[in-house]
Structure 1
Amino acid sequence: MRMHQEELGCDRSGIDEKNVNSVNQYLKGCNDYVASITDFDIATMEMDIYVAGSVRNMHKFKLEEVVHPESDKCKWELSHQEEITIEAYKYAVDNTCYMTRYSVLFEKFGIEFREPLYDPFPFRVEEKILEEQTLTLEECRQRAHEILGSSSLYEELDRIYSPENQQIYKGHPVHYLISAGAWGAAEDIYELLIKALYNNKRLISNRITLFREVQRKGYKDSRYQKVIKAGEGGTVIIESKSNEGMGCFATDFHEFTKRTGEILEKQKKDTLFIFVEITGKSLNDDDAIDNILKKADIIQITEGTGTLQDARNYLTELVEQVDFGTEDKSDVYDYLAEAETYSVTDIFNAYNAWYGSGLKTHVYRAYREKKSFQVEVTRVPNKPYDTLQEMIGLTEVKTVIDEIIAASKVVRARERMGLNTQGASFHMMFSGNPGTAKTSVARLLCKILKEESAISSGRFVECGRQDLVAKYVGWTARMVEDKFKEAQGGILFIDEAYALVDSSNTYGAEAINTVVQMMENYRDSVIVIFAGYSEKMQTFLEQNEGLKSRIAFHLSFPDYSPEELTDILTLMSQKRDYQIDEEAKEYCKELFCNAVKEDNFGNGRYVRNILDQAIIKQSARILKMETREDISREEICRLKREDFRIHEIVKNNEKRIGFAG
């Protein structure tokens, strides 16, 4: 606040540092407030006073309690008063010798708002003061119409302005959860709510403390509660959104909401809490959200929809706020896709796309001819992709993988352009006999998509029936969802998926129904791959139409030919620093020609077993050599024909391949 001294015949020479210090000493003695005075400006006869106090006392604050006139001939009048942020307070007290250190404020009220360079906050916190504005109910409803407010917003505005309410601050009866598809949409909603509450004396402060990007374990940092405590009297806004720092850890999110719920319960009387849920990016975890919803009365406010004209009006308001000049801003309408109704998310997507184009056209003009993103399936050198290409055979599989990579790149490009990506699904089915590299390809695909930024965490979670089907009623759905949470930002690989609907257990049907539901709920954060025998997988899909319609890619893994099995053997041996001589290769090729005639002979697994046994036999052969002390590097890395001696064993009328002694 700024105080102006009105001269009543007083001597200016008497207003010196001594007088200022005496006032400052009095301010330091205030019990209910922390107040300090800056330098007194003799030329203008003005001084600035900064006052901080708890919410329980600030709304009772009286100017005469902190200002003592030093002379009957001098009268102090309030010329200006405004609310400031804690950061502004810190800056002011650090830049004058007359003021109480801000540490006194922190110690007195038990708050924190310092972020040392050596120990930054594990969350992003912003602080701002909303402009004070007198608004009637009709003006609020008009603003709600301009931002395409939903019925839930109109209903809450009516409750805030209801004549049944007393116009006095006593605390917060309710708090809010805002569900919107874009941050800008949520921002317009919560700013309108805060202004309406302030106009009805439901808030005593226009200060907002905003939390975003809370990192893993950030909620355990003691400063998390202290910074929220510093928001007392105003509004604390907490964004609930999946991110790489915490979003892929379901347990962390549950603990985060639990801790936040505990703080909400303690501070809900004098701090307004607003939780912002970004649709499609927040975590779908009812148990975790209950940690918050059960601690206070929460009203959900959703974004609304409007007509084409409503959308154009909203867009016009947004583009009028840009800080670069444009001759014709109506071209923003071209970024709206044709539709019967428009959500606020649609409008912000159009605005973001237009803004990016405007930067190139009006600010960075060297890019004005670059009107499209280049989307090419480039062969970026990366180990996972190279490893996939080195795999023997799988020609059709590699082609489909290239298509999947291309599709993911286009989706990312459409997101950057602000275009609609709804409907893009990457769920897959891998069908083939055992040993045809289904799991290996799935793991490589996960790494490739992570490097292409198509998935966020790159987590690969492999599971089967035993991981998804419980023994007791009500447990199966929870087990399924736990696996989806574990795979957040990556791939959930369900091997032998048809085993889920085994007729011996009715809980299998519950498992597959839950899987289908979770595929929809987590469609933007989890890719599901079903794998198994070709015939059984086909039957499995035919019995589950809901599942069949959600699978975008079908990859068939054929059995390997004898030539491919020989190449696989050579590649495996090279990776293990072994060389197979030509005679041994020819012999193994004969083995493979016989093996492929058998059903389910094992494909790659069969080759790996042959190589493992050959290495064991080679070790025994070398140790039997009389001159083993002089074994050369070449000899110890060489596999000969005799190391691959096998014969067929007949046991219980079933042919098995074994190794001769």
Structure 2
Amino acid sequence: MSYSPNSPKRTFNQPYHKFLKSLDKYQTYKYLSYNNCMNIHNTISSHYSNTFLPYHGSQDTQNDKELLDFFKWQKEHEVPLNNFDKIKVHRNPPKTKVHIDVNIESVEDLIKIIDTYPFDNMKEYNIELQSLHKIRPELDQLNSMIGLHTVKSSIVNQLLYFIQGFTQDVHGDYKHTVLTGSPGTGKTELAKIIGKMYSKIGVLKNNVFKKVTRSDLVAGYLGQTAMKTRKKIDECNGGVLFIDEAYSLNNDDMYAKECVDTLCEALSDQKKDLMVIVAGYEKDLNEQFFKINPGMPSRFVWKFNIEEYNPKELYEIFLHLVKQISWKVDKNVTDKWFHEKKDLFKFNGRSMEQLLLMTKISHSKRVFGKDANLKKILTLEDLDKGMEIYKQNVKSAKDNIFYGLYT
């Protein structure tokens, strides 16, 4: 028997059963961890030496300075056996249970829960409160989007399903989504928000979002398109592949068919780890993209149609954009002005961005050399002059389209 890896070996003539018997009283400690015992090997070795040295206090032992030094060191560092009762196994205190029972109908309801219940590791909640706190920025962003009431409600329903872990099938659920609507209705922004939320709550493994168009998927030769499409799919594994203007992959194009067939296969085989979102005009998507492969429509289980903004919503978008740049709008500017000009805003939110730029340009001309208190406050005059510039640019853009067709 050895005292330690570095101690000198000694063989004792006394029966080992005496030593073993002396350990029986400590058998209740056999489940304690090594760390809690604080070097139990040295403790037992010390007890062994203290127990049996009297039986053979030979001259060899007494004269062995190295062994005596070892005993001395061990005695200074040992844990006395009579102190074992004081050793406690560390256990975390029980968590306080918090029961949250509320009716959820809107994004505001989810945000209210987050505000009411800060997450605490020492508390146990009956809902996935930590996951809700993780997506707070995206919920705020979604809530700040003007309109989209039906879309927001549907997204809340999805979150309540996924956040409770009801999708336990090893193959996962279809998450593929169709966003239809006119340009400037926020489809790209909405797709990014959905992707980030799904990533943060664990529905998607990676925070990957790639926006692609036809040119990113279709190659110049048959055979290459499948490889090009597959590469984009692999890059988005665990995240979101967003195909904007998906109707450009039309039914009469053999290259588009190769792309869509490759995509259709991945929609099923990788439905657990991949989310594909396609966007475009509803009619064009149905007549072009979804007609290429009969299996495509059934794989997109979520369909959101984003309606065009009404004049009041356009006014709210304009005010929101102005606030973002720390400018102000004069109180005489109301939604009535936007009602009168509604037909000119064909591109919804994008039109508001263009209008704001033109209005700022007209404002800069009006306040040049004027008092600083007049600056960065948009008036009706600024809007009217800005609208003239806006209409000129819209007409110019239309003229350029026809010019481009014949040059």
Fold-level similarity (TM above 0.5): yes
Contact 1:500 1:508 in 2 (8 A): yes
Matches within 5 A, 1:270-285: none
- Cα deviation 1:579-616 (Å, max 9, x = unaligned): 112333356414443336xxxx1111111110111112
Matches within 5 A, 1:239-638: 374-375=126-127, 380=133, 382-410=136-164, 413-414=165-166, 419-501=168-250, 503=252, 505-539=253-287, 540-586=289-335, 588-595=337-344, 601-623=346-368, 625=369, 628=370, 630-632=371-373, 635-638=374-377
Contact 2:257 2:293 in 1 (8 A): no
CA shift at 1:436, angstroms?
0.9
- Cα deviation 1:29-64 (Å, max 9, x = unaligned): xxxxxxxx976634179xxxxxxxxxxxxxxxxxxx
Give the alignment partner of residue 378 of structure 2, picking from 624, 634, 639: 639
SS in 2 for 1:583: coil
Highest RCO, 1 vs 2 (Cα 8 Å, sep ≥ 6)? 2
- Cα deviation 1:524-568 (Å, max 9, x = unaligned): 222110110111112232443211111120011111111111111
Contact 1:565 1:592 in 2 (8 A): no
CA shift at 1:652, angstroms?
9.6
Contact 1:501 1:512 in 2 (8 A): no
Q: Distance in 2 between matches of 1:519 and 1:654?
A: 38
SS in 1 for 2:279: strand
Q: What is aligned with 1:43?
A: 11
Q: What is aligned with 2:78?
A: none
Q: What is aligned with 1:12?
A: none
CA shift at 1:454, angstroms?
2.2
**Structure 2: stretches of 5+ with no match in the other structure:** 14-41, 43-92, 100-123, 401-407
Contact 1:491 1:526 in 2 (8 A): yes
Contact 2:177 2:300 in 1 (8 A): yes
Q: Distance in 1 between matches of 2:241 and 2:381?
A: 43
Contact 2:199 2:206 in 1 (8 A): yes
Q: Distance in 1 between matches of 2:169 and 2:223?
A: 37
Q: Distance in 1 between matches of 2:140 and 2:292?
A: 37
Q: Distance in 1 between matches of 2:363 and 2:237?
A: 45
Question: Match for 1:610: what amino acid?
Answer: L
Contact 1:502 1:508 in 2 (8 A): yes
Question: Match for 2:376: what amino acid?
Answer: C
Contact 2:312 2:339 in 1 (8 A): no
Contact 2:257 2:292 in 1 (8 A): no
In the superposition, the TM-score normalised over structure 2's length comes to 0.62
Contact 1:376 1:406 in 2 (8 A): no
Q: Distance in 2 between matches of 1:631 and 1:366?
A: 58
SS in 2 for 1:430: strand
Matches within 5 A, 1:183-198: none
CA spacing shift, 1:467–1:404, aligned 2, 3 Å: same
CA spacing shift, 1:366–1:388, aligned 2, 3 Å: closer
Q: Hey, which of these two has a bigger chunk of strand by percent? A: 1
Question: Match for 1:535: what amino acid?
Answer: K
CA spacing shift, 1:491–1:44, aligned 2, 3 Å: farther
CA spacing shift, 1:654–1:492, aligned 2, 3 Å: closer
CA shift at 1:482, angstroms?
1.7
Q: Hey, which of these two has a bigger chunk of helix by percent? A: 2
Q: CA RMSD in A?
A: 3.6
CA shift at 1:422, angstroms?
3.4
SS in 1 for 2:155: helix
Contact 2:176 2:299 in 1 (8 A): yes
Bigger radius of gyration among the two:
2
Q: Distance in 2 between matches of 1:507 and 1:551?
A: 22
